[in-house]
Amino acid sequence: MTAHLPVLQVLVPLVCAPFCVLLRSRTAAWLLFLFAALASLTCAVLLAVRVGGDGAQRYEMGGWPAPAGIEFVVGAFNTPVLLVVSAVAVVVAVYSRRSVTSEVDARRVPLLYTCLCLTLAGLLGLTVTGDVFNAFVFLEISSLSTYALVAMGRHRRALLASFRYLVIGTVGATFLLIGIGLAYAVTGTLNMSDLARRVADLGDDGGGNRALYAAVVFVFVGLAVKIAVFPLHAWLPGAYAQAPSAIGAFLSATSTKVAIYVFCRFAFTVFGTTLVFGTMPIDRIGLALACLAMVAGSAVACFQTDLKYLLAWSSIAQIGYILAGISLATTAGVSAGYLHVINHAVLKAALFCAAGLLVLRLGSARFTALAGLGRRMPWTFAAVVIAGLGLVGVPPTAGFASKWALLTALVDQGQWAVVAAVLASSLLAMVYIGRIVEVAWFREPAEPGTGPTASKAPASMVAAIWVLVLASVYFGLDATWPAGLADAAADALLANGGE
């Protein structure tokens, strides 16, 4: 049984998905998703323990040995991602029960959980797979179900956001497919470790093979769309803000993070660090785009008038921090990137969950609706401010730990321009979090009639928010656990394959 953990992790949510449709019951569908998320989390924890004990775990699908068969690989480089995705799925499952009923038509609720199961299966599969074509298939499974989830938002604007995401997301995924095709044409294999061996055989700079260079570029651009790297971010604000709140929280914490992991997997363990960051200028491009993302994302966030859009734009800036760490291609930089993946997932999920609670009680997360409610809903706004300070990077929150790690790594490499961008972005983050504080505590309520409608906030939603907020504070006070995971991941990635 334990030998099958890598595949069970993906299989349980995948098998739960059709049952959600067939049972046609809201409660049954919710229980199935909760079960799938808990099962994935259990698998992830057991796998993390095993990886810590005896190194990378390989699973041959159907007993066909690699490289002919598809294999799943769980190593130190992907256990943090598995843990984050499945843990956030559990919290969102608890949170979603009440949030989804209030925002989505009752007949569509089982379908929503079906798509959520499929998204979870796709994201986890994308993380564990050791085969490049299989990665494309899992990417499309998660993307297609995400488009459907976004389209279930309350307003008709959600449909447009979903359509745009579909068009740009499909172009990105197809770019990835072209890159995989070119890499296959050069090497004749699809297995990641086999690919890495054959690329290394070509020589340090890929033997001057232009098809291989084109493959690296196509893979990088294709994944950059999914990561929402700055100029390719246009789909993100609409998709996160218009999706139902629970979905926004889940996606903001997981989908871009998994795409970042896949980029790391391709860059460090398939094409090789020397080729991607030495021969080709992906490191310089990555750092430049990261700086643009940090400054532009935070600056635009300052001008938003809707809490959800503000959070979505802030995500674009936070992705810049992660990309900057990874583009350094040093152990310290990649480790800082991973640490921020974990911390940002927790912080952003908490903030989107809190925004969802505001939508439930006020009908909207626009600033006009939130004005002056800081005193009447102190706990919700306290959660928003604590997690918001984490985004700014104020000690002792989780954001401080990862930003400090990132700054140290940047200073080590003498990247002063990027350091300046990180600091500028943090100041701008101070401004947009300050705006929330100003709206909630220092503005007069718009009309006396407005205010919390539901008499009490549902306990499940409050619990989910505070679990995430407290986790973020704990990761700020004692970063040994996430930092240990991130360091192990960075070591494994940079130790040429880490397998």
Residues binding another protein (CB under 8 A): 133, 136-137, 140, 144, 147-148, 151, 156-157, 159-160, 162-163, 166-167, 170-171, 174, 177-178, 181, 184-185, 190, 366, 368-369, 446
Task: Give least dist CB 178 to another protein, A.
Answer: 6
Question: By C-beta, is 184 or 474 nearer to another protein?
Answer: 184
Residue closer to another protein, measured from CB, 354 or 369: 369
Q: Which is nearer to another protein, 91 or 362 (CB)?
A: 362
Q: CB 115 → another protein: shortest distance, Å?
A: 11
In the bound complex, what is the minimum distance in angstroms from residue 149's beta carbon to another protein? Answer: 11
Question: Smallest distance from the beta carbon of 7 to another protein, in angstroms?
Answer: 18
Between 127 and 242, name the residue whose CB sits nearer to another protein: 242
152: nearest Cα among 18, 29, 247: 247
Q: Which is nearer to another protein, 73 or 132 (CB)?
A: 132
Contact 384, 354 (CB under 8 A): yes
Quick one: 174 or 413, whose CB is closer to another protein?
174
Nearer to another protein, 146 or 318 (CB): 146
Please tell me the distance from the alpha carbon of residue 493 to that of residue 263, in angstroms, as a whole number. 11
Task: Please classify residue 200 by burial: count the beta carbons closer than 10 Å to its beta carbon, then call 0-12 exposed, 13-18 middle and 19+ buried.
Answer: middle
Nearest approach in angstroms of CB 277 to another protein is 27
Cα(270)–Cα(301) distance, integer angstroms: 36
The nearer residue to another protein, 131 or 283, going by C-beta atoms, is 131
For another protein, which is the closer residue by CB, 184 or 404? 184
Closest approach of another protein to the CB of residue 230, in Å: 19
CB of 318 to another protein, least distance (A): 27
- Three-class secondary structure assignment of the chain: CHHHHHHHHHHHHHHHHHHHHHHCCHHHHHHHHHHHHHHHHHHHHHHHHHHHHHCCEEEEHHHCCCCCCCEEEECCCCHHHHHHHHHHHHHHHHHHHHHHHHHCCHHHHHHHHHHHHHHHHHHHHHHHECEHHHHHHHHHHHHHHHHHHHHCCCCCHHHHHHHHHHHHHHHHHHHHHHHHHHHHHHHCCCEHHHHHHHHHHCCCCHHHCHHHHHHHHHHHHHHHHHHCCHHHCCHHHHHHHHCCHHHHHHHHHHHHHHHHHHHHHHHHHHHHHHHHHHHCCHHHHHHHHHHHHHHHHHHHHHCCCEHHHHHHHHHHHHHHHHHHHHHCCCHHHHHHHHHHHHHHHHHHHHHHHHHHHHHHHHCCCEHHHHCCCCCCCHHHHHHHHHHHHHHHCCCCCHHHHHHHHHHHHHHHCCCHHHHHHHHHHHHHHHHHHHHHHHHHHHCCCCCCCCCCCCCCCCHHHHHHHHHHHHHHHHHHHCCHHHHHHHHHHHHHHHCCCCC
CB of 174 to another protein, least distance (A): 6
Contact 80, 90 (CB under 8 A): no
Q: Are 272 and 496 within 8 A, CB to CB? A: yes
With respect to another protein, which residue has the nearer C-beta, 78 or 162?
162
- Give me 379's structure tokens: 């706990």
Quote the least distance from Cβ 155 to another protein, whole Å. 8
Identity of the residue, 178 or 437, whose beta carbon is nearer to another protein in the bound complex:
178
Minimum CB separation of residue 122 from another protein in Å reads: 12
Q: Which is nearer to another protein, 396 or 445 (CB)?
A: 445
